[in-house]
Structure 1
Amino acid sequence: MLAADNISSILGWISIACWIIVYSPQIYENYTLQSGEGLSVSFVIIWLLGDLTNLLGASLGGLLPTVILLALYYTTCDTILLFQIYYYRWKRSGIQSTNTDEHNEQAPLFGNATLQENPVSAKTLAFRYMASLLFVTAVGIAAWWVTRDEDTSLASLTEEESQPQGSKWLYIQLLGWSSAALFLGARVPQICQI
């Protein structure tokens, strides 16, 4: 039987695996549709600022490497999303200038109409969701297995050794709270548009 600490660690790693793949569907959909028009630029920019302050605060605070890597990963994903938005706009403007049907109201909004014509079956969707769930669970368990000896060495640190002191602590707190405010504030423009 697994101890409570091991179960907690496994669930933590599964959570990290979920956080890692959460951006993948949006980036893939933008690539497939060759468009980023469904995304709010202000939302992505505010999230990028939140992720940058999170990354800086986690680095200054000497947090666990997984926290720092996750912040770096999210910063990279935000940057990719912004790149996709502007790249596909630029690409579409070049296509529209050569397209004679650019003002056709019957034309599909996105150039790839095959995605709209071939809906995915419920069986296929169920398989994809189950495969995703099994994937993140397997990754979480594998990550715990690889790092299980490191978890015990980290637990032996005293609280005094793991806490930053002085003005550095204040900067880290300010960055953390700024990050949280940016993440929460990113929703305000969308709420105001409703």
Structure 2
Amino acid sequence: MQLPLNEAFSGIFGSISLASWMFLIVPQLWENFRNQSAEGLSTLFLIIWLLGDICNLIGALWAHLLPTVVALGIYFCLVDFIMLAQLIYYNHYRPKKRYRFIQNRRSDRAGPSSTDPLLPDAEASRAMKHSGSQRRDSLSEVFSDSSSPKEAIRNAISVLLVLFVGTAGWFIAWKTGAWGPQGDSPDTEAPLGALILGYASSFFYLTARLPQIYTNAKRQSCNGLSILFFILSTVGNLTYGASILSFSLEHNYLLKNTPWLLGSLGTLVQDFVIFGQFIYYGTLRTGPSEEA
């Protein structure tokens, strides 16, 4: 069966977007693991992002959107839960576990002494953060003179690999019959409830990064964040929107998909704000403040 060109492009862009989101979580998970901390991430950012993904998934299923859109919605939710689980472990469970370990060692010795801190819980937490900061080699240093070329090359290779994997994945799926014509009728109107959920998800997406931007500004640092995480997010959002637009530009179809387009393309502005923070705070780290 001959595949229409618009459906082929839609499938390829959707597959690249899926690959972007599949690999997106890896650099940030590794950054958290390497630092043994997730303090760089805003908890509110992840919670709002999760709410947006839940609304997105339910709305996409209700509106019978493209299978790639639904598949991405399912994967988004899984990624959110993994990220939240890691954040809770490193920022809440692990410090308490370390505090209990310290207390047990003290009791094994001879009980508390007059030199023990009055607030051991807070002290243990500070010790964990200090230990993590000593090990930290954050990707925000990508903009320093010593690491920029090497890190830029790694990031470029990562993006090219995602583009290749996404395109090859769609081509294999098409040749094996696992992916076929979508059959999404452009003139089909979405149920009102699905559109409401779609706009709700767009609202959450458009506001999710604001807490992260505020956290970065408050800390005057992007330490603990992986810049590749946001680069792949940008690639994923761009190709996600492209997969919808390349399928059809018919009025009713665009109206039906407007909430999802707003959610994916609208967040790009905030992603670029975060890129600006990486550059600005990275410059501060290697500028006059280091020489003082």
Tell me the TM-score normalised to structure 2 length: 0.52
CA distance change for structure 1 residues 172 and 29 in 2, over 3 Å: closer, same or farther? same
Tell me the residue number matched to 1:31: 33
Tell me which of 178, 202, 205 is aligned to 1:183: 205
Kindly indicate whether residue 205 of structure 2 is the aligned counterpart of residue 174 of structure 1.
Answer: no
The 8 Å contact of residues 35 and 135 in structure 2, kept in 1 or not, is answered as no
CA–CA separation in structure 1 for the residues paired with 2:214 and 2:154: 35
- 1:159 maps onto 2:186 in alignment: yes
Task: Report the CA distance between 1:10 and its aligned residue.
Answer: 3.2
1:159–1:190 CA distance, 2 compared to 1 (3 A): closer
Is 1:140 the equivalent of 2:162? no
Out of 31, 47, 50, the position equivalent to 2:49 is: 47
TM superposition score normalised by structure 1: 0.74
**CA-to-partner distance for each residue in 1:95-133, whole Å, 9 max, x for gaps?**
145187947x8986243734449x885564244224312
**Structure 2 portions without partners, runs of 5+:** 104-115, 118-122, 218-292
Equivalent AA in structure 2 for residue 184 of structure 1: L
Matched residues in 2 for 1:112 and 1:65: separation? 43
Give percent identity, aligned residues only.
35
Letter of the 2:94 partner, please give it. K
Alpha-carbon spacing, 1:9–1:85, altered in 2? closer, same or farther (3 Å):
closer
Q: Could you tell me whether the CA contact under 8 Å between 2:41 and 2:212 is conserved in 1?
A: no
> Residue 112 and residue 65 in structure 1: after superposition, are their counterparts in 2 closer, same or farther (change >3 A)?
same
Contact 1:51 1:179 in 2 (8 A): yes
Alpha-carbon offset, residue 137 of structure 1 = 1.9
How far is the alpha carbon of 1:51 from its aligned partner? 0.5
Tell me: CA distance 1:136–1:56, structure 2 relative to 1, closer, same or farther (3 Å).
Answer: same
1:160-183 Cα offsets, whole Å, 9 max, x none, are 5xx356xxx001000000000111
16-25 or 52-61, larger mean C-alpha shift: 16-25
8 A Cα contact 1:35 1:110, kept in partner = no
For the aligned residue pairs, the C-alpha RMSD in angstroms reads: 3.5
Letter paired with 1:21: F
Larger relative contact order (Cα-Cα within 8 Å, sequence gap ≥ 6): 1
Q: Hey, what does 1:71 align to over in structure 2? A: 73
Alpha-carbon offset, residue 134 of structure 1: 2.8
Q: Hey, what's the Cα distance between the residues in 2 that align with 1:145 and 1:113?
A: 45
Is the partner of 2:182 in helix, strand or coil? helix
Q: Could you tell me whether the CA contact under 8 Å between 1:47 and 1:186 is conserved in 2?
A: yes
Q: 1:127 to 1:12 in 2, by over 3 A?
A: same
Could you tell me how far apart the structure 2 residues matched to 1:58 and 1:131 are? 32
State the match for 2:154 in structure 1: 128
Is the alpha carbon distance of 1:153 and 1:111 closer, same or farther for their aligned partners in structure 2, counting shifts above 3 Å?
closer
Change in Cα spacing, 1:15 to 1:124, as seen in structure 2 (3 Å) is: same
Gaps of 5+ in 1: none
Q: Are residues 16 and 106 of structure 1, via their aligned partners in 2, closer, same or farther at CA, if it must alter by over 3 Å?
A: closer
- Cα distance in 2 for partners of 1:107, 1:144 equals 44
Q: In 1, Cα distance between the equivalents of 2:166 and 2:208? A: 29
Change (3 A) 1:171 1:133: same
Distance 1:106 1:56 in 2: 43
Matched, 1:95 2:98: yes
- Classify 1:54/1:31 alpha carbon distance in 2 versus 1 (closer, same or farther; 3 Å): same
